Copies of this chain bind each other. A is one copy, B any other.
């Protein structure tokens, strides 16, 4: 890819991180995505996407603390970079522009009879 296009899952992940703000790490991101009701995802799936996004400069991460509850491995918090935000805006703009060019009629569902 040219390097600036986001895959659909990547985009979903970035948006979710922006929604979560300060509290975006693996588990919360996963929960949020699932809660959006859209799909089931695994830890692994998410983390590979996140680390690819980081490689490409769409987000950065920093080590956090362990969970209070019962200990556990330290969290890794994610933050969307400027580049990431720009990519999101661009993706949105392109699609919005396309949606605006579609006449209403053409969106109606057809039923056989």
Contacts and interface: CB of A to CB of B under 8 A. Distances in A.
B7 A39 contact: no
23 contacts: A2-B40, A5-B8, A5-B9, A6-B8, A7-B7, A8-B11, A8-B91, A12-B95, A15-B95, A15-B99, A15-B102, A18-B102, A18-B106, A18-B107, A19-B98, A19-B101, A19-B102, A21-B103, A21-B106, A36-B97, A38-B94, A85-B107, A85-B109
Interface of A: 2, 5-9, 11-12, 15-16, 18-19, 21, 36, 38-40, 82, 85-86, 90-92, 94-95, 97-99, 101-103, 106-107, 109-110
Given A5-B39, A7-B8, A18-B102, 5 more contacts: A5-B9, A8-B11, A11-B95, A12-B98, A36-B94
